[in-house]
Amino acid sequence: MKIHRAIPVAVLSVAGLVPLWQYEAHTASTTEVAAEAGVVPEAQTSSEAPSATAPDGSGYGTGTPPATTTTKPPATAAAKTVNGKLVKTVHGDVQVQVTFTGNKITAVKLLKQPNTGPTKSAVPTLIEETLQAGTADVDSVSGATQTSEAYVQSLQSAIDARGN
Amino acid sequence: MLAGVRRVEHIMGFPISVDLRDGDERSHDAVEGAFAWLREVDARFSPFREDSEVARLSRAELEPADLSDELAHVIDLCDFYEESTGGAFTSWLPGRGFDPCAIVKGWAVQGAAEMLHDAGARRFCVNAGGDVVTFGESEPGVPWRVGVRHPERADQLCVVLELRDGAAATSASYERGDHIIDGRTGEPARGLLSITVVAKDLTTADAAATAAYAMGVEGIAWAAAQPGCEVFAVDSQRRVFRTPGLPVAA
């Protein structure tokens, strides 16, 4: 169950690597490897067992702040390291090694990297969170292109009607 | 001192609202000019108007030398994102001809906002069909608070962003159905429920959000790697992925 949740995250991380080399081949190559956490799951839902999901407060990659405010007692879980599949790209082979602590990815390391391509930014750090729903006092609302018909029912129309 | 200005007009098929919190007569007059520019863009760049530059280009009635500077720039932007996404984003679709709407919208609204800024406005927000560009702050010391619509609940927000001199654009299919096509497959993009990109300008934010949506799940990492872009994405399993630098309101 724990791993089942975490594996899609690892897949995303790997999937994220490949197009970057493929699509940004014009960017200058660098040998720097992003070894910090590529994807840090943050999903702490109240419905899940705390021992399975609680953040342990350590192991986050540099510059990766915890994203949710949920705090639960620390749980200790043994770290487990799993190697990803070798992925072939036009610039060379890519293979990542992912360290799980509990169901959380705490590190992503490139075992194999292409010789070309923008490796510097190849592993953009992403934080995983649970989807929230709520209301708040806002100045404006971003959403997919609102048609004029839908607009009259939208949040933005209420904001415009409210005035300053 | 003049009070703020709020104006809404429906142009290009969606509402465009201007919320101007400061400025003088000159910048208030510029609001008129900004809407006039957007109407001009609609006339010149709509693929749905037979006499537009875009429709004429679609019908191969324009030679490269005939292209206006603005249309040439739009084509350059389309080409850039098409190449960068490996063809997932495309402005040429079989049966539809040249449709640069996804690029034109952000670019045109960014231009309108810069017209207001050039006229002296320093604190304002423009929302064009859910794409938002801000200048300055809503009040001195207070950033603009921009909510992101929940992908499945039209009356709810899923995150609130704080913007100063920044833009946010969201791509999703909840409003207009499967209208974004993955150019690599010709099929509607379905990997994401919605993706929001924050950037310095709306041209970048809107183009990156649309392009990333067309790519599907891999578009999250692609958008996160775009210079100056922060990302908030909801995948089809309702998982949220965001970049650490996203300006989330406390």
Nearest to B226 by CA among B204, B203, B248: B204
pLDDT digits (tens, 9 = 90+) for B104-124: 999 999 999 999 999 999 999
Token pair recorded at residue A66: 């915890």
- For B53, the token pair is 């530059």
Average pLDDT over residues B208-219: 95
Q: What is the mean pLDDT of residues A30-52?
A: 35
Torsion of CA A7, A10, A15, A16, to 10 degrees: 140
* Measured distance CA(B112)–CA(B129) in Å, rounded: 14
* Nearest one of B165, B188, B182, B174 to B222, comparing CA atoms: B182
Taking 90 as the threshold, does the pLDDT of residue B140 lie above it? yes
Mean pLDDT for A23-30 is: 34
Q: Cβ–Cβ of A150/B148 closer than 8 Å?
A: no
Higher pLDDT, A89 or B144: B144
Q: What percent of chain B is helix, strand and coil (3-state, nearest 5)?
A: 35, 30, 35
Q: Which residue of B has its CA nearest to A15?
A: B218
Per 3-state DSSP, chain A is made up of helix, strand and coil in percentages (nearest 5) of: 25, 25, 50
Chain B partners within 8 Å of A64 (Cβ): 244
* pLDDT at A162 (0 to 100): 75
Q: Distance between CA A10 and CA B30 in Å, rounded?
A: 50
Using alpha carbons, select from B2, B7, B40 the residue that is nearest to residue B22: B2
Task: Flag whether residue A137 sits within 8 Å of chain B, measured between CB atoms.
Answer: yes
Question: Which of B59, B51, B34 lies closest to B135 in space, CA to CA?
Answer: B34
Asked if residues B184 and B87 have their Cβ atoms less than 8 Å apart, the reply is yes
Please state, in angstroms and rounded to a whole number, the distance separating the CA atoms of residues B245 and B247: 6
Please write the tens of the pLDDT for every residue from A123-150.
578 999 999 999 999 999 999 876 777 7
Express each pLDDT in B83-97 by its tens digit: 999 999 999 887 778
Chain A residues close to B153, C-beta within 8 Å? 133
Yes or no, beta carbons of B153 and A130 under 8 Å apart: no
The string of pLDDT tens digits covering residues B12-48 is 988 999 999 987 889 889 999 999 999 999 999 999 9
- For the entire predicted model, the pTM comes to 0.71
Is pLDDT of A7 > 80? no
**In this model, does residue B80 exceed pLDDT 80?**
yes
Mean pLDDT for A51-67 is 32
The pLDDT value given to residue A56: 36
pLDDT at B222: 94
Task: Round the average pLDDT of chain A to a whole number and report it.
Answer: 56
Predicted-complex ipTM score: 0.93
Give me the torsion for CA of A118, A122, A125, A127, rounded to 10°.
140
For residue B81, what is the DSSP state?
Answer: H
Contacts of B131 in chain A (CB under 8 A): 142, 145
pLDDT score at B23: 79
Does A150 reach chain B within 8 Å, measured CB to CB? yes
Judging contacts by C-beta atoms under 8 Å, the chain B residues touching residue A14 are none
- Classified as helix, coil or strand, A126 is strand
